[in-house]
Amino acid sequence: MRIADSEPKRGNVTLLVALIVVSLVLVTMYFRENDSGVLHGARKVMLAVTAPLSDAGDAIASPFAAAGNWLSGLGVSRTDIDAVRAQNDQLRARLADLEEARQENDRLRALVQFAEERKLTKLGARVIGRPTSSWEGVIVIDRGSADGVVRGMPVLALQGLVGQIEEVSPNSSRVRLITDPESGVAAMVQSSRAVGVVRGSIDRTLRMDFVDKKSVPKVGDVIITSGLGGIYPKGLVVGDVVAVDALRADLYPRITVLSRVPIDRIEEVLVLLGPVTGTGAGVVE
C-alpha cells in the first residue's frame, strides 16, 4: 500500500514567495511614484478597459435587484394594507353609527319642537313593527302601560295624524292607523271648515264622507281633525284632498284624501298622553 506524500512541493512554495515579493515591490513602487508613473498609467488603462464591462453588468443586474427588493418588501406591504383596511372598516362603521345617531337626533328634535309649539303632552316612541300586508292597518311602538300609555290615545308624527292606540302591553302598544278600513276620524276642511268623517281603505287612501255639497273642497285642500267626539285634538293634519267627485245623484260628494305620513318609512312617533293645554293643537301647513 502506497502512502501519499503529505509534504508540499517545493516549487509551489517558491512561486508563492516570489509572487508575494513581486506584490510588495509593485505596491511600494505605486505609492512612491507620481500620478504620471508607469503603474498609475497601467491602472488607468485597466479601469478604462473594465469600466464598460462593469456598467453592462450593473445594467443587467439592476432589474433583478429591483425585483428582489420588491419581493422582499411585499410581505410587509400586504401586512400594512391589511391593517389599513381593517382600520378603514372600523372608521366606516363608526361613521355609519354617527350618521344614524345624527339623523335620529334631527328627527326627534323636530318631533319635540312640533309638540312644544302645539303645547301637547306627549311621549316619544319608536316604531318596532310595521304592516306586513295591505290588509293589516296597524303598527307597533315600543311604549306601553309601564310608560303611561292607555287604549284610545292618539298617535301622530311630524307629518300629521298616524292613528290611535288599540291594544296595550307593559312595554309595547298596537296602533290602529287612520288608513285602516276600521278607522274613523272626525275631520274638517281647513279652508271652508266643512265637517265630515275620514275613513280608511284597503289601498291606504282615505275617504271623507258626509260633507255638505254646498262646501265641496278642491283638490289640494288640507283636511284636519275637527276635535268633535273628543278622541283627537282639533287641528291635527289628516291629509290632502287628491280627488273630488260631486255627482248629482249622490247625497254627498266623493272626496279622496291622501295621508302625509310615510308609514313605510316612519321611525318615531308621539303618543298624546293628555288634552291640549292651549286653545288648539295647531296646524301643520
CATH number at 198 reads 2.40.10.340
As a whole number of angstroms, the distance between CA 253 and CA 196 comes to: 11
As a whole number of angstroms, the distance between CA 142 and CA 126 comes to: 6
Do 85 and 125 share a structural domain? no
Residue 111 maps to a domain: no
- pLDDT for 278 equals 37
Would you say how long the chain is, in residues?
Answer: 285
**157 near 122, Cβ under 8 Å?**
no
As a whole number of angstroms, the distance between CA 197 and CA 115 comes to: 25
Do 152 and 56 share a structural domain? no
Do 166 and 59 share a structural domain? no
Could you give the number of structural domains in the chain? 2
Residue type, 178: I
Its pTM stands at: 0.58
Do 122 and 81 share a structural domain? no
Do 28 and 131 share a structural domain? no
Instruction: Encode 177-213: b = buried (16+ Cβ within 10 Å), e = exposed.
Output: bbbbeebbbbbbbbeeebbbbbbbeeebebbbeebee
- pLDDT for 280 equals 41
Residue 238 maps to a domain: yes
Residue 35 maps to a domain: yes
- pLDDT for 276 equals 44
From first to last of its 285 residues, the chain has per-residue pLDDT tens of 455 555 555 557 787 777 777 777 666 766 666 666 666 666 666 666 666 666 666 666 666 666 666 556 555 566 777 777 777 777 776 666 666 556 656 655 666 665 665 566 788 899 999 887 777 889 999 999 999 999 999 998 988 899 999 999 999 999 999 999 999 999 999 999 999 999 998 888 899 999 998 889 999 999 999 989 888 888 889 999 999 998 766 788 999 999 999 988 888 898 988 654 333 443 333
Do 245 and 189 share a structural domain? yes
Do 141 and 241 share a structural domain? yes
Print the domain residue range for 200.
Answer: 118-272
The residues near 145 (Cβ < 8 Å, ≥ 6 apart) are: 168, 169, 170
